[in-house]
């Protein structure tokens, strides 16, 4: 076999290497993103708990204000506590929203990475399949050429059925590859 026919395999290796490099890079990024998402999601629980506590405080102070029968100074202090509780609840609710938004963005990025990794794997499968089809076609061509061009010994009868079957197999492979190219595989 000459070395020229081996050249396409080198191209396949180069493309497969690029797919592997991209897969490795995205997998590393996905791992880092998973760790970051875990860290950020740890913030949501405490912030939500703090929102509930300040909401309960605000509600309690509101009840105290409604039932107040004490001095004007204590009423003023309760009003100030009510305002502080409302501000704290609002601030913490804003933090929960920001952290939740960050998590949603991170989740979107993770989904994009997963989609890209899936596409890379599908490309790898298609490229490997194409490589195998190319190798099979080359081998079939070589066999067909040897059989078609060989001289038979005297007294031997050529197997025309085999030649016909090989020709049909070769045509079927070419048609299958053409169909894969048309369909984008």
Half-sphere exposure of 84 (CA within 13 A, CB side): 9
C-beta atoms surrounding 21 within 10 Å:
10
Alpha helices in the chain (DSSP H): 7-66, 72-149, 160-183
Distances (CA, A) of 144 to 129, 135, 151, 168: 22, 14, 13, 11
Q: What CATH number does residue 81 fall under?
A: 1.10.287.1490
Name the band, by pLDDT with cuts 50, 70 and 90, for residue 165: low
Q: Which residues contact 144 (CB under 8 A, 6 or more apart)?
A: 163, 166, 167, 170
Distances (CA, A) of 66 to 77, 86, 90, 159: 14, 16, 22, 106
Question: What phi and psi, each to the nearest 5 degrees, are found at residue 22?
Answer: -65, -40
Q: Which residues contact 69 (CB under 8 A, 6 or more apart)?
A: none
Question: What phi and psi, each to the nearest 5 degrees, are found at residue 2?
Answer: -85, 165
How many domains does the chain contain in total? 1
Q: Which two tokens stand for residue 171?
A: 């045509």
Residue predicted with more confidence, 76 or 155: 76
| pLDDT at 3 exceeding the cut of 60 | no
Q: Give the C-alpha separation, 138 to 140, whole Å.
A: 5
Would you say the pTM of this structure is higher than 0.85?
no
Task: Render pLDDT for 44-98 as a digit per residue (tens, 0 to 9).
Answer: 999 999 999 999 999 999 999 999 888 999 999 999 999 999 999 999 999 999 9
Question: What domain range is 49 assigned to?
Answer: 3-183
Provide the pLDDT for residue 157. 54
Q: Which two tokens stand for residue 44?
A: 């949501």
């Amino acid at each position: 076999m000459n070395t020229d026919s081996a050249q396409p395999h080198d191209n396949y290796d180069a493309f497969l290497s690029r797919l592997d490099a991209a897969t490795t890079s995205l997998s590393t990024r996905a791992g880092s993103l998973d760790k970051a998402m875990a860290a950020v999601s740890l913030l949501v629980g405490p912030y939500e708990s703090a929102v509930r506590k300040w909401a309960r405080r605000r509600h309690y102070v509101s009840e105290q204000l409604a039932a107040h029968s004490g001095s004007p100074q204590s009423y003023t202090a309760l009003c100030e506590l009510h305002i502080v509780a409302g501000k704290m609840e609002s601030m913490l609710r804003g933090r929960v929203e920001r952290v939740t938004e960050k998590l949603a963005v991170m989740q979107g990025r993770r989904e994009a990475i997963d989609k890209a990794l899936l596409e890379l794997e599908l490309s790898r499968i298609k490229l490997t399949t194409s490589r195998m089809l190319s190798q099979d076609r080359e081998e079939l061509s070589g066999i067909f050429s040897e059989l078609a061009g060989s001289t038979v010994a005297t007294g031997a009868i050529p197997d025309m059925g085999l030649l016909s079957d090989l020709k049909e197999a070769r045509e079927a492979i070419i048609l299958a590859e053409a169909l894969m190219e048309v369909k984008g595989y």
